[in-house]
Structure 1
């Protein structure tokens, strides 16, 4: 590729972006919540839409979930929106009747591929919550070109004790037109269920794996990963190494978790595990009416596997697998492989040339200053830390030359748990940060053609403070800070083409009061805030803040700090932080 073509590509992209920036703005990304309401309220943006009327395909309507059986549905592509789709959006609405019910895991599937993953809001005796979720499925367009079977799975128990009945509806919206972002050419689920389901990973040796026969002209590849903590791992972020579990009265197994990706048994990448907290977690009043970060609608983590493109194109079957380091019973996992094909080559060849992730075991360093005193009193810290740096490089011989790809990543995990345990009470403070700093590059000859930089940070602070009175009654105050930070930059031939920053944080607190028999008598002091902010280099700006008090929405504001004090987001942006391909503006 010569310099003349480089300049033409840049000029073409500049014109395209200028046109889009000038005309394609979706101004309404708000939720429209009512102050004083006890219904679910979140500050998250909706998926921005292109102009024009979409074609709507209903997946299911007002289906009830009262057992652990799946709810099947049939899908066919929309007749009225043939050809190109500028965007495809999943919309789903859920509710649960007033009464008693656990939070439940919710998933939607099509042809084995996950379309949605999240959990449900818990009801109360007086509140029947309802909520809306959306997911940008534009990258899954090739899956949606053919008629297939799908299913909704929300395992639920309804009986004399657990009375909440869950209802749900879902639809796909297809917006005709062209997108500036090239969508993947192939979508491959890793699960064994042909319609779709998650896989339980009980320990670090367990894996979600699929042996795939792939096209022979792959030039880029990515893996979307979900790893959801369940069972004994639900509160993994508060667990301690087995040696300290008895003294601290905590779950064992440690609190380091990380998703490992492999190809043909060799390490291929890592995905951080987000510490999602469900609406029944720790203290259910913490999450009424505003749940934790992404609780109702998880965001997948996308792993760049492009250095393996040449290897995956050799015509042999290849195993792609996911496991969870530190899993301790258990994680629910699913993953989807996305591939881009070289349209002008029947055969792409190549290989991985360097992989420094091989041999780097995900084994954290543990430290302790715990001291045991009289009457089983315990005080001190337990620290857990791990930092790994690795580089994976490979090349692929394509129709536009030999493309050399490199993924360089630094992943970090730092956790400190402070305990104060004595006859007067029990206090545990957990401070944790998971971080990722990654750079993906593609090079043709001496030129770095595309570069994609990502920085993630998942801060979590949990303070559980139980105070025991002399009569045996006690109060338990829980304070939680949960954050999600993402900053990404796309570069083309050394020029910053696009950058975006997402910040989402939830702060919540509540106190539970128990009598000497251990029965809950009351709760007080419930309050929370959520702040969601998004900006990109083209002028998109989204900011929504809310606060809650005593289980009701207290304040709600939109656009503060944005131009004109108004949220305005370009339709091709991803303000929720959902993943984009490593070089989405690629012209080949």
Structure 2
């Protein structure tokens, strides 16, 4: 065997360096730290340009109660910060609106952190933090929490808790300072803009058409059903039961570490419950923070990679009652402010980062399983999930005040397993991975209460198409996700007349393309283009007449580059633009924001109606 010549030796060395660098790049983090970064000499406000809470025309609350002030420093693994809340005498219930107001500030070096607020163990806000700078940042989250008003009416007081797990040391110096308040607005005879009514407690306005008007034929036929049907659609629940960890020493949320790690809560509901909705809160972290970009385990193993971010690019959150599947959640891929390229999210954060979405599962058809006065188990888990997910839920219950006991029956149960088809094709570090997933479920059940015998029909389906393309020995990575879900809930009387029909559609298109170039001295340059959209459409029909139509389109596009050493961003440049559009019964709100290199270049809001996807 001959010794290699100088040129052959040089090529071998370069090839060895390139392959080694490429292999390690695939194991680099997708989350980063804005180390020693400042975009302003003064503290800078960060923002999430979404619809502000819909408030009465006066705009001023009857009273504002400061609930909690806390500095979250070394709080990882510690219990939440808690306080006792008593309804203010100056503005006792009932309230037309209740708004949660959370303000946070921080300066120094710190990763993004997950946080949540609970009232009596029921989560009302899942949020995350922005990454601070040396000059400091601050932001504000205002959320309408009127749907949780029943938790706040306890005259003896209720515990309000906030958790923000943070670590402070010589490297991570940022301490998150939080102030939490509640604003209370009195009942009003005024009809609020954008579809808020006097009785309504959410954005679904059903007053313009009243099929039950006195003297009408329909009014006489369904006079007995009016009393409870309308409150069931628009009013907050009479009772909310948390589905969470009972011991809050490490937060009320469950921690899910793998696909078989289902967690349960024991609940007992009143026997006069005639409607039930399970509201699920989720967030994903560590090896599953970017689950939509994870390759299959076989790719990681065959290439001897150290990354543990595997198990493919499909995830599904599910709920059970006593072990029986009752619903599914398709999680929206929220990107935290240290993710992909943190320069994208300064000072405009990613969609949902300050107010992560929750997901409603109507489980009224399953009331037969719960109305026997006994304890039952509600379970939550993640199909294909890996470490780790934070999950809890609230069980919203509507009670029949004219009955002590109602009867119910599950009449239809169709829940075939989720269908997942995977196609993996790779050679060494280059490959393409495709995942198609689909699920359909149909549940029906009747409830016989003082309003009569009502049947609730729930149809749910979703489809996911995911592709992951890895080329250039692992230095090029393209993620494309198309996810859509539709749920339809119909309420019928015993004459099979459809009294109400609510349809809810979701679409989550996501595209991320990244090219990474190795550099010397343990640094590399990463260039990324991103497009991300949340599309939501909700319609309400009463006796097959359209009563309400709500559409939200929230779209972000970002591009830029960064030079990175380990987790720290040394320098870079990025531009982000976002268009948020809200339409409710032809009343609209549109906001356009453009930012570059930490500076907001344009921020305009109008009442124009131009919904697009």
Taking the TM superposition and a 5 Å limit, the aligned residue runs for 1:351-390 are 351-357=409-415, 360-362=416-418, 364-370=420-426, 372=427, 376=428, 378-390=429-441
Give the equivalent residue in structure 2 for 1:135. 143
| Residue 470 (structure 1) shift | 9.5
Give the equivalent residue in structure 2 for 1:179. 199
CA distance in 2, matches of 1:521, 1:502: 34
State which of 218, 233, 247 in structure 1 corresponds to 2:273: 218
- CA contact under 8 A between 2:148 and 2:236: conserved in structure 1? yes
CA distance in 1, matches of 2:101, 2:151: 17
Q: What secondary structure does 2:475 align onto?
A: strand
Deviation track 1:498-542 (CA, whole Å, cap 9, x = no partner) reads 110011122222212358xx79784333100111100011x3210
Give 5+ residue unaligned stretches, structure 2.
1-39, 188-197, 201-233
CA distance in 2, matches of 1:553, 1:439: 40
CA distance in 2, matches of 1:521, 1:168: 26
| Residue 380 (structure 1) shift | 3.6
Deviation track 1:161-214 (CA, whole Å, cap 9, x = no partner) reads 111111001111121115323111110001123666211011122223211111
Change (3 A) 1:521 1:50: closer
State which of 387, 393, 402 in structure 2 corresponds to 1:329: 387
CA distance in 1, matches of 2:522, 2:294: 26
Q: What secondary structure does 1:141 align onto?
A: helix
Change (3 A) 1:405 1:519: closer
Deviation track 1:231-261 (CA, whole Å, cap 9, x = no partner) reads 2111211112211224575621111111101
Deviation track 1:62-106 (CA, whole Å, cap 9, x = no partner) reads 645443333221111121222421111111101112x11111111
Q: What secondary structure does 1:369 align onto?
A: strand
Change (3 A) 1:134 1:386: same
Taking the TM superposition and a 5 Å limit, the aligned residue runs for 1:44-83 are 44-52=50-58, 53-61=61-69, 63-68=71-76, 69=78, 70-83=80-93
Give 5+ residue unaligned stretches, structure 1.
1-33, 564-574, 576-588
| Residue 349 (structure 1) shift | 0.8
Taking the TM superposition and a 5 Å limit, the aligned residue runs for 1:289-368 are 289-357=347-415, 360-362=416-418, 364-368=420-424
State which of 397, 409, 415 in structure 1 corresponds to 2:466: 415
Change (3 A) 1:381 1:512: same
CA distance in 2, matches of 1:155, 1:521: 23
CA distance in 2, matches of 1:307, 1:399: 17
- CA contact under 8 A between 1:38 and 1:288: conserved in structure 2? no
Give the equivalent residue in structure 2 for 1:18. none
Change (3 A) 1:475 1:448: same
| Residue 41 (structure 1) shift | 2.8
Once structures 1 and 2 are overlaid, which stretch shifts more, 138-147 or 308-317?
Answer: 308-317
- CA contact under 8 A between 1:311 and 1:349: conserved in structure 2? no
Q: What secondary structure does 1:279 align onto?
A: coil
Give the equivalent residue in structure 2 for 1:149. 159
Give the equivalent residue in structure 1 for 2:579. 531
Give the TM-score normalised by the residue count of structure 1.
Answer: 0.83
Q: What secondary structure does 1:268 align onto?
A: strand
Deviation track 1:332-361 (CA, whole Å, cap 9, x = no partner) reads 11110001111222111112111111xx23
CA distance in 2, matches of 1:531, 1:47: 18
CA distance in 2, matches of 1:400, 1:151: 38
State which of 495, 502, 509 in structure 1 corresponds to 2:559: 509
CA distance in 1, matches of 2:375, 2:594: 52
CA distance in 2, matches of 1:348, 1:240: 50
Give the equivalent residue in structure 2 for 1:547. 594
Give the equivalent residue in structure 2 for 1:103. 112
Deviation track 1:268-308 (CA, whole Å, cap 9, x = no partner) reads 01111121111111322121111111112112111111112
Q: What secondary structure does 1:274 align onto?
A: coil
Q: What secondary structure does 2:292 align onto?
A: helix
- CA contact under 8 A between 1:548 and 1:554: conserved in structure 2? yes
Instruction: Choose 1 or 2 for highest CA Rg.
Output: 2
Q: What secondary structure does 2:509 align onto?
A: strand
Confirm whether residue 263 of structure 1 aligns to residue 321 of structure 2: yes
Return structure 1 stretches of 4+ with deviation > 6 angstroms: 469-473, 518-521
State which of 317, 340, 345 in structure 2 corresponds to 1:282: 340
Change (3 A) 1:430 1:89: same
Q: What secondary structure does 2:499 align onto?
A: strand
CA distance in 1, matches of 2:436, 2:478: 16
Give the equivalent residue in structure 2 for 1:484. 534
Once structures 1 and 2 are overlaid, which stretch shifts more, 384-393 or 307-316?
Answer: 307-316
